[in-house]
Amino acid sequence: MLVQIGHLMLSLMLLVMLHELGHYVTARWFGVRVDRFFVFFDVKFAIWKKKIGDTVYGIGWLPLGGYVKLAGMIDESMDTEQMKGEMQPWEFRSKPAWQRLIIMLGGIIVNIVLAMIIYAALLIANGERFTKVDNMKYGIVTDSIQTTLGLQTGDIPVGVNGIKYNSLEEINKESLLGGTTLEVNRQGKEISLPIDENFRTQILNYKQGFFVPQFTFEVDTVLVETPAQKAGILKDDKIIAIDGFTTPYYHDFTKKLEQYKGKTVALSVERQGQPVELMVAIDKEGKIGIGNKSSYIDSLEGRRNYSIGEGLSAGVVKPFDAIATQVRGIGTLFQVKDGRKQVAGPIGMVKQMPTEWNWLFFWSFTAMISAWLAFINLLPIPGLDGGHAVFALYEMITGKAPSEKILEKAQMVGIIIILGLMVFIFGNDIVNIIFG
């Protein structure tokens, strides 16, 4: 749990600090005094704070964002007393509308650029990994739920809405986010299956992936003091049958183990091309203590490598793809059963973090959230950067600044909207934990 919390907290702290730094740097650039610079909110008290020059720097205890308080600006603090005095040259309100617009967009720009840099670095260093549909000789494994949707074990997903893909992950994504039909290759014939609300719901419910390739296997490791070792199973053995039932694929083998929990059964293996019969005592958990390998699985692993130029180019586009995917995902929540359960706030996100530290996951997650924060902050909601930007644009177009009363009321509406969303998100997390 601590590692999971660490993934989320470090990512949020980095993103909030850089976002607010975007506002801070542009404000100082145009001569606006910055009264406070806080990572996380310091409601009632702060974990740490220190005044340097005109600015109080600090870290709050509530990890829901951060803020930069600018002199002469009506913000979420609703400090209107400062607005009653004579306008000063170091105040936000004294600056031209175009400068105020840049200051408001500073954090959003930093978030987008950060996402671009991270995505480009990840693509150049690691490329993109995917499961090759073209190499799937044995198709996918299905269970009873997937069978009711029209899928069969051995089906090879090849496309969505008539568009073909060579990435199984892309087919999974498109089936969920915008698919109306799923095309599968079934014993050499292409069949189109309808994607409805129930289909999308089930894709969401399968956290480890809806389309799972079935594969052959060989014994890779035999654990010490396990039923497998006691039975005489060796590395590179191919298990071909249990109690006379053939198990050509790994999922057949594991299903049979489940059926024979706590029993001793005959095991047929192929060793260096020769059949060997063994007796194995399956434990109460349906395991015998082996690790598997499959050269076939290796053949399904695709990777696209990027040169520096290709990585930089793709990195520019990637944040906008991530935003589009998130927006489509929100739309999908209205097309599935119990879509509310799929909405995760900070509490729900912690549960989705890896239990062991993973830098690749951390940077991928940070890039995605950075792009998403840029989009959210750009929304024209009073209280968010986008809301302030709208007023600056209005003034630039009309030549008239909104009155302070309008700004105060708009800010209050924005605070109510934002607080309402926070209550919903945290409440939803709690409901999901209690009721599942």
The vertex-166 CA angle with 163 and 168, nearest 5°, equals 95
Task: Count how many Cα atoms sit within 13 Å of the Cα of residue 222 in the half-sphere of its side chain.
Answer: 17
Rounded CA gap, 369 and 384, in Å?
A: 17
What is the torsional sign of CA 424, 427, 432, 435? negative
Angstrom CA distances, 246 to 237, 249, 263, 289, stand at 15, 9, 18, 20
CA distance 197 to 336: 5
pLDDT at 408: 75
Q: What's the confidence (pLDDT) of residue 253?
A: 87
* Contact in structure between 179 and 160 (CB atoms under 8 Å): yes
HSE at residue 169, side-chain half, CA atoms within 13 A, is 11
Q: 188: number of CA atoms within 13 Å, CB side?
A: 0
User: For residue range 2-57, what is the model confidence (pLDDT) as tens digits?
Assistant: 888 888 889 988 999 999 999 999 999 999 999 999 988 888 889 999 999 989 99
Domain ranges, ordered by start, for the chain: 2-125+365-435, 129-213+295-304, 218-293
Q: Which residues of the chain have pLDDT under 70?
A: 74-85, 338-345, 347, 428-429, 432-433, 435-436
Whole-prediction pTM: 0.83
Residue 19, pLDDT score: 94
Rounded to whole angstroms, what are the CA distances from 393 to 397, 400, 411? 6, 10, 17
Q: At what angle do helices 97-126 and 359-378 cross, to 10 degrees?
A: 160
- Whole-number pLDDT of residue 84: 65
- CATH C-level class of 129-213+295-304: mainly beta
Cα separation, 139 vs 214, whole angstroms: 6
Assess if CATH 1.10.10.350 describes domain 218-293.
no
Q: What is the pLDDT of residue 141?
A: 93
- Report whether 256 contacts 267 (CB < 8 A): no
Identical fold between 129-213+295-304 and 218-293: yes
Helices (H), 225-307: 227-231, 250-259, 295-300
